[in-house]
Each structure stands twice: as structure tokens, then as C-alpha cells.
Amino acid sequence: MKIHVMTESTMPSQSEQQNSPAESRHENLSALIDGELSDGMARIAITQLGHSPGDLARLGEYLAIGDAMRGLNTRHDGFSARVMAELENEPVVLAPVQKKRESRPTLWLAAATAAAITWVVWQSNPRDDLAVPLASVQQTAPQFDEASPYLAAHQDFAQAVISTQEMRFTKASLEIRP
């Protein structure tokens, strides 16, 4: 039998026990402006705000209350609305999201594999090194020919499999520089 012990931190708040969905959403807004929501919950709350002008106005009220309590002038009727109306004439800001550069392990793996095969072939035929390698590779991997179109289409997932056509594909890919 499991016994669930509720600690202070896991205990639901008074309102969580009885809030309606709307009230829960508004309570989240209240916690959001205090910086007391987790990242995930904050993302959800902000997303919901985008779909609910009423909630956005409520958020403004909460902020105005805090400012009023700190003695800031809260009478700027319609200021937000004027700014937002002005922004409607502005092009939407679309800045590229900075992503970490994705590494291409498949390319490196294919390049390393090709280099290794070339080296092995060259080692086994040191006197015919200039003429033989590619022909040798083609002859050692005929069993993959049937699967080549599939592998070419799914090259990112066919990491260690080398076929003649894939070799050609890999060569083309290697020319793309990051």
C-alpha cells in the first residue's frame, strides 16, 4: 500500500483546490509577473495570453496595482492600446532564432569510412594504388546495390553502410562546407 505524504511544497494552494479553470489561469498570470512560474508553466501562460485579450488586460491590471502601490502614476489611459495600434502598421519582427550549429556525424563517419577503405585498398595493392581503389570498393560491396535507392533516400540513417551509389552521394555531400 502506497502512502502519499504531502509536504508543504507539494501541498496544493487553497485556490488550487477550488479554482475554476479561468481562476487558475489568472492565478498563473499573477505568479508569472512575480517571476514565480517554472519555465514550462511560464511558456504556457504566455502562449495563452496571446489568445486572450481579456487575460492580457488583467495582467495589465495586476502590474498597474503593483506600480500604484509603489507610488508610480497609473493614469495613462489607453497607452498600451495606442502603442499596439501603432505596431499594427509595423512589419512583424521575425529574427532568426539562434541555433547551435548542428554537427553532421553522418558526413564525418562516411568520410572516415571512405578514407579507411581507400587506405586498406591502397595497403593491399601498394603498386597499383592509382588505378584500383574505387573499382575494388565497387566489387566488395555489390550486395548493397538493391538497397541503394533506399539508402540514398535515407542516408542520414544509413551511417555505416557504404555502397557504390552512396559513395557517390557522400562525395557530393562532402563538398558542402559548413
Partner 1 sequence: MSDRDLDLQLVERVRQGDQRAFGILVEKYQRKLMRLLSRMVRDQHEVEDIAQEAFIKAYRALPQFRGDAAFYTWLYRIAVNTAKNYLSSRNRSMPTVSDQAMNDEDEPDERLVAQDIATPETELLSKQVAIAVNQAVDALPEELRQAITLREIEGMSYEEIAETMACPIGTVRSRIFRAREAIATKLRPILGTADDKRW
Give me the torsion for CA of 41, 47, 49, 50, rounded to 10°.
Answer: 170
**Residue-level length of the chain:** 178
* Distance, CA of 81 to CA of 59 (rounded, Å): 14
Which one, 79 or 150, has the nearer CB to partner 1?
79
* Distance, CA of 120 to CA of 116 (rounded, Å): 6
Q: How far is the CB of 44 from partner 1 (least distance, A)?
A: 12
Which one, 80 or 159, has the nearer CB to partner 1?
80
Binding positions for partner 1, rule: CB under 8 A: 8-9, 11-16, 26-27, 30-39, 42-43, 46, 49-50, 53-54, 56-84, 86-88, 90, 92-95, 97
Q: How far is the CB of 101 from partner 1 (least distance, A)?
A: 18
Which one, 30 or 124, has the nearer CB to partner 1?
30
Q: How far is the CB of 47 from partner 1 (least distance, A)?
A: 8
Q: Which residue has the cell 566488395?
A: 140
Helix intervals (H) in 88-158: 105-124, 133-140, 148-153
